[in-house]
Amino acid sequence: MSHRLRFNVSIPLSRPDLPPLDALVPMLEDIWESGVLSNGGPYHQRFEQALREQLQVEHVNLFANATLGLIAALKALGLQGGEVVTTPYTFVATANALRWAGLTPVFADIDPHTLNLDPAAVRAAIGPRTVALLPVHTYGNPCNHGSMADLAGQHGLKLVYDAAPCFGVRAGGRSVLAQGDASVVSFHATKVFNTFEGAAVVCADARVSERLARLRNHGLDPRTAVEEPGLNAKMSEFNAALGLLQLERVAQAIECRREIDRRYRQALGGVSGVECLALPAGVELNHAYFPIFVGAGYPLGRDALYQRLQDHGVDARRYFHPLVCELPAYWRAPVRQDELPAARRRAAEVVCLPIHPALTQAQQAFVIDLIVRPHAAPAVRAGAPA
Range(s) within the chain of domains with CATH label 3.90.1150.10: 250-375
For 250-375, which CATH class? alpha beta
Res 375: pLDDT: 47
User: What does the alpha-carbon distance between residue 341 and residue 331 come to, in Å, rounded to a whole number?
Assistant: 17
Angle at 69 between CA 64 and CA 70, to 5 degrees: 150
CA distances 35 to 46, 243, 245, 346, Å, are: 17, 19, 20, 50
Give the gyration radius of the chain's Cα atoms: 21
Query: How many Cβ atoms from other residues are within 10 Å of residue 239's Cβ?
Result: 23
Residues of the chain with CATH 3.40.640.10: 21-247
Q: What is the pLDDT along the chain (386 residues), one digit of tens a residue?
A: 343 334 345 999 999 999 999 999 999 999 999 999 999 999 999 999 999 999 999 999 999 999 999 999 999 999 999 999 999 999 999 999 999 999 999 999 999 999 999 999 999 999 999 999 999 999 999 999 999 999 999 999 999 999 999 999 999 999 999 999 999 999 999 999 999 999 999 999 999 999 999 999 999 987 678 989 999 999 999 999 999 999 999 999 999 999 999 999 999 999 999 999 999 999 999 999 999 999 999 999 999 999 999 999 999 999 999 999 999 998 764 565 568 999 999 999 999 999 999 999 999 999 999 999 984 445 444 345 55
Helix 250-268 to helix 361-372 angle (10° resolution) is 30
CB 258 within 8 A of CB 287: yes
Q: State the pLDDT at residue 227.
A: 84
pTM as predicted: 0.94
Q: Which CATH number is correct for 21-247, 3.40.640.10, 3.30.1490.190, 3.20.20.140, 3.40.190.10?
A: 3.40.640.10
- The per-residue pLDDT for 95 is 97
pLDDT of residue 14: 97
- What are the φ/ψ torsions at residue 61 (nearest 5 degrees)? -120, 120
How far from 106 is each of 43, 113, 163, CA to CA, in Å?
A: 39, 21, 19
φ, ψ for residue 100, nearest 5 deg: -65, -25
Q: For residue 279, what pLDDT is reported?
A: 96
- Return the pLDDT at 337: 52
Residues in the chain: 386
